[in-house]
Amino acid sequence: MELEVVDVVASFPGVPAVRGVSLEVPEGSIVAIVGPNGCGKSTLLKTIARLHKPDSGRILMRGDDVWSLKPREVAHRIALLPQSPLAPEAITVRHLISFGRHPHQGLLRQWSQSDDEAVYRAMVDTGVVALADRPLETLSGGQRQRCWLAMSLAQETPLLALDEPTSALDLGHAVEVLELIRAAADHGRTAIMVLHDLVAAARYADIVVAMKEGLVVAKGSPSAVVTTDLVRELYEVESDVVLAPSDGVPVVIPK
């Protein structure tokens, strides 16, 4: 198992955010965490990525508790892309993506050809080679998000942790980013991502985890989880859930 979350409880001072969550993430799969605002999705992701210490419970990656590992070791295993990442002013695309190689640098290992190759592969995979020398700030939102994803891919970790990777993107650019994540999983990466879009979660995830008030209320395949009852429970919205004619993926239609 790539990742195991075992009875994790996490909170902010006086405010419980994640309450006894357990889940398993198989290698090479995509897990989408969905739910209303404030349900604990992002806190759970940050706890998995070793940014928010849990009050109790364990997070195991290939059997190792991530909170017992050194930060550099975690950075070799988990690449985190936060919801609203910030970059230095005037940084170029190539320079940004090269940040993904920093966990691999040290006193005994300086930048090498293998780092250049990793950066180039990430640019090829995300279709940003032609943008390599452009300042990030001159790009569209969709282009910038592909560059941030390329940085995460250049880190060459087995697990990608993505917080709202399609936030503020239009439909076309959102699909581009999700297709890139799907391609990474098809090549052996594991991805766990927070999404607001239940339809996108159903289409691109292998496992959907639904949260409400810090609890997991449903988890499983998209067809098993995405139902009219779940939509009502999470969002207090009446809906029809129909199956897409092309592939049978559940689609939510609010009434």
Structure token digits, residue 98: 């090269």
Whether the pLDDT of residue 7 is over 70: the answer is yes
Higher pLDDT, 212 or 170: 212
**Could you tell me what percent of the chain has a pLDDT over 70?**
98
Contact 241, 231 (CB under 8 A): yes
Whether the pLDDT of residue 15 is over 90: the answer is no
Q: What is the pLDDT of residue 168?
A: 80
The whole-angstrom separation of Cα 239 and Cα 159 is 34
What does the pLDDT look like over 119-158, one tens digit per residue?
Answer: 999 999 999 999 999 999 999 988 999 999 999 999 999 9
The whole-angstrom separation of Cα 22 and Cα 5 is 5
Whether the pLDDT of residue 83 is over 70: the answer is yes
pTM across the whole model:
0.92
Q: Comparing 98-102, 111-115, 185-189, 229-233, which segment has the lowest mean pLDDT?
A: 111-115
The whole-angstrom separation of Cα 163 and Cα 34 is 11
Phi, psi of 87, rounded to the nearest 5 degrees: -125, 150
Q: How confident is the model at residue 9 (pLDDT cuts 50, 70, 90)?
A: very high
Q: Categorise residue 220: left if φ over 0, alpha if ψ from -120 to 50, beta otherwise.
A: left
Q: What is the pLDDT of residue 14?
A: 76
Whether the pLDDT of residue 112 is over 90: the answer is no
Specify burial of residue 181 (Cβ count, 10 A radius: 0-12, 13-18, 19+).
buried
Q: What is the pLDDT of residue 111?
A: 79
What does the pLDDT look like over 165-192, one tens digit per residue?
Answer: 998 888 998 999 999 999 999 999 999 9
Q: Comparing 33-37, 82-86, 91-95, 209-213, which segment has the lowest mean pLDDT?
A: 82-86
H or E, element range at 213: none
Q: How confident is the model at residue 107 (pLDDT cuts 50, 70, 90)?
A: low
Q: How confident is the model at residue 108 (pLDDT cuts 50, 70, 90)?
A: low
Q: What is the pLDDT of residue 159?
A: 97
Residue 238: C-alpha distances to residues 11, 43, 223, 229, 255 (Å): 31, 28, 18, 8, 6
